[in-house]
Structure 1
């Protein structure tokens, strides 16, 4: 948007959070509060975005990166003082200045855009975003003139008995005409209970200078929720997750019980997917169409293809193909790829491995640092022994391989295409197909035959002698 700059106030420590982390970097729905605010502001495409930092400024600056220009407030002397740190960048600017706070993660871009449009349409000195609360405790009150314009904003600690009864409150979000803002900032004083320079004082100053200030009431009070405590953080989390659940349902996803489903803001879900209760989708998750997730599934920073079925399991930083089933009680760890039409079953753990198309790993198995070809079936209790006490070693299994129950693959090991082994095999080195079910094993380059099956009649004779 032309002739618009934005200022995000993110200098506060958040003492009521009792945290060593800057308040604006606390997560809501999978990302820091500041990110939610920046995304809302960026949607307006302003010419410049300024973030005012204070407490742990370097950490905030590092997080913001190139998304905005960070301006440091060395001494935190109030919100007007914070905005003054940006004044050197605004001296020649003649457009609108959007000012918002970094701890309001629920604010929508549509609301900010309407606020800007309202100021421009009515050509007032400033437009203030307000809302009405049944319990306005803790917020500055909006005092209006008889014609409905805003006369002043009074911080709660400075209210009299009549002002304290007002239910319309200041949200800390404004749009100013830049020259009028600079004029008012130069006149702000700290003669108040907190001995701070309040940005809210600019509203009364503009009125006394003969300029009109207007209020725009937010339709949804929850959108303007400011986070000042852990309880506020939990409220914001709950409200935003409900909003996200409603959004995915509007786009063709069934969420059985939104109250027990946790979907982060960055998650993308294809239509006709069903999300069962107690599902957590955290970080950057993509799920294809016609999938079924949950109950009790936790998927983090992973990509799932179409028609995936996942229940009672945890998937982290993995890529799952189309028509793959995972669970129950499976663990898919970072660095794992599972290709189309494969099945990962009960009490199976896979890490840093690639599983090919049409594979079955259905029971009680551990697969680590392995590459598995297409159409491989691993029996119950198959284990890759990938750590020798010093470093991780790799396992490679070819296509069309069948390994029976309780197979132990001592890495490094390579099983060639077409190998078919019964149960209780211990494999190392190179294993090649040699006949129907009697492969040769090359251990350290020395070929040896696999052990022959026991003679059942000999076993019986031995038992009689004993």
Structure 2
């Protein structure tokens, strides 16, 4: 991966790939879940927390060795499923199929896939009954065996007693010089136990990530799965190739996603919304019937039937009420906007509480920072704040107040009051021509002086 980060914490559709796997396994309902860690283990623990148990592998001596060190933690009976931490497309349904095969038939089960290009995968060798007779790695395979297209996924369901026995028999006598988990299959088979292949329906389920190209591949595949699920649940996605929805996003039915939409984190979108084009929403909650166009919303809440954009920016901790208009080139930060209010154009509202039925005019700025700390602006219900008004926080505007255009407000304005704070206009009749002649004379004089210096 050429990275300072552990491979399994690289994100796929907004979530570390190891987290995708752990969540699928937790959904299956295993009694205990172990993660074998080694280098950069803190990065893995920071992602998974206490949802799993950790076993440290001091030396990396192969896949078989990683399972060997789990033996003291395993019960004496039951079934153990083993899988890699870099296969984020694994599905709970396929793991349940694997377990069902072992439960119904006894023995051990191996998840396999039939792929077009089997290079680098271990090949599945079958016997006359169709059982797995051996798994042979690429480096150890003959030219004929390398032509086999059925490959090992690296996911197994073992009878725990059989697993214990086979681990005790592992050696490093192979091309890699490692303890290979695949050799357990051969040792178990020698006891007469059957090894059942369970072929996955979608070969992409077994995709591993070892470089950035493969990371991009699984991102694309998982994104398509996510979009398909939402479309099946009643969401219209106009162009799936240009729409990005992360794994934990929730979207209500009859919502439409237009091209360039990115929905990230724990975002929740209500019903009957139109999102996009070219909009990014991260960890936000959006009500029903909301329209978001060419805007960014981060860690905020937007009420029902509100419109946002185009080109608006809702920064964290903003809460927008129902039936609000947030227009073009408006920035909201850590502010509450009451229902039926309008902030229509070219405004900054930060660290503020704006009431309901308020009109915030074009060019209004809540001046919240004095160079040392932030201060809050409060505007009551049914207020009118004219264009190009500066509200110098901390300041409170009472209910029903009217702030004249162009004012700079530094003091509180009482309820139902009118406030104006600007220079009185001076008009000089017939002065324009005089001013033009004066400016022309100044220009001509300057040109003469410049010419003289040359």
TM-score by length of 2: 0.93
Which residue of structure 2 aligns with residue 4 of structure 1? none
Tell me the matched-pair count. Answer: 435
Which of 346, 354, 368 aligns to 2:328? It is 346
Which of 108, 116, 125 aligns to 1:134? It is 116
The DSSP-based 3-state class of the residue aligned with 1:153 is: strand
The DSSP-based 3-state class of the residue aligned with 2:19 is: helix
Residue 258 of structure 2 corresponds to residue 301 of structure 1 = no
Which residue of structure 1 aligns with residue 452 of structure 2? none
Larger radius of gyration: 2
Residue 149 of structure 2 corresponds to residue 156 of structure 1 = no
Which residue of structure 2 aligns with residue 48 of structure 1? 32
Which residue of structure 1 aligns with residue 389 of structure 2? 407
Which of 166, 169, 173 aligns to 2:148? It is 166
Contact 1:261–1:277 (Cα < 8 Å) also in 2: yes
Which residue of structure 2 aligns with residue 443 of structure 1? none
The DSSP-based 3-state class of the residue aligned with 1:334 is: coil
Residue 193 of structure 2 corresponds to residue 211 of structure 1 = yes
2:300 and 2:277 map into 1 onto residues whose CA distance is: 19
C-alpha displacement of 1:63: 2.1
* Cα separation, partners in 2 of 1:450 and 1:365, compared to 1, 3 Å: closer
The DSSP-based 3-state class of the residue aligned with 1:101 is: coil
Which residue of structure 1 aligns with residue 446 of structure 2? none
Contact 1:414–1:428 (Cα < 8 Å) also in 2: no
What do residues 316-375 of structure 1 show as CA deviations (whole Å, max 9, x unaligned)?
Answer: 111111111100011110111101110100001111111111110011111111111111
| Residues 273-352 of structure 1: pairs in structure 2 closer than 5 A | 273-352=255-334
The DSSP-based 3-state class of the residue aligned with 1:161 is: coil
Which of 255, 258, 264 aligns to 2:237? It is 255
Which residue of structure 2 aligns with residue 245 of structure 1? 227
1:465 and 1:177 map into 2 onto residues whose CA distance is: 101
C-alpha displacement of 1:157: 0.9
Contact 1:266–1:284 (Cα < 8 Å) also in 2: yes
What do residues 201-255 of structure 1 show as CA deviations (whole Å, max 9, x unaligned)?
Answer: 0001111222211101111101111111111110100000101101001001101
| Residues 70-109 of structure 1: pairs in structure 2 closer than 5 A | 70-90=54-74, 92-109=75-92
The DSSP-based 3-state class of the residue aligned with 2:394 is: strand
Contact 2:16–2:47 (Cα < 8 Å) also in 1: no
Name stretches of at least 5 consecutive residues in structure 2 with no aligned partner. Answer: 436-454
Which residue of structure 1 aligns with residue 163 of structure 2? 181
Which residue of structure 1 aligns with residue 12 of structure 2? 28
Residue 340 of structure 2 corresponds to residue 382 of structure 1 = no
2:410 and 2:154 map into 1 onto residues whose CA distance is: 67
2:382 and 2:216 map into 1 onto residues whose CA distance is: 51
C-alpha displacement of 1:434: 5.7
TM-score by length of 1: 0.91
C-alpha displacement of 1:44: 1.2
The DSSP-based 3-state class of the residue aligned with 2:197 is: strand
Contact 1:382–1:408 (Cα < 8 Å) also in 2: yes
Which residue of structure 2 aligns with residue 372 of structure 1? 354
What do residues 410-437 of structure 1 show as CA deviations (whole Å, max 9, x unaligned)?
Answer: 11111111111221010012112465xx
2:421 and 2:416 map into 1 onto residues whose CA distance is: 10
C-alpha displacement of 1:390: 1.1
Which of 12, 21, 32 aligns to 1:37? It is 21
C-alpha displacement of 1:143: 0.8
Which residue of structure 2 aligns with residue 67 of structure 1? 51
The DSSP-based 3-state class of the residue aligned with 2:164 is: helix
1:241 and 1:61 map into 2 onto residues whose CA distance is: 26
| Aligned-residue CA RMSD (Å) | 1.6
1:319 and 1:312 map into 2 onto residues whose CA distance is: 17
1:107 and 1:434 map into 2 onto residues whose CA distance is: 63
Contact 1:307–1:324 (Cα < 8 Å) also in 2: yes
1:434 and 1:47 map into 2 onto residues whose CA distance is: 65
Contact 1:119–1:127 (Cα < 8 Å) also in 2: yes
The DSSP-based 3-state class of the residue aligned with 1:130 is: strand
1:95 and 1:38 map into 2 onto residues whose CA distance is: 20
Contact 1:24–1:102 (Cα < 8 Å) also in 2: yes
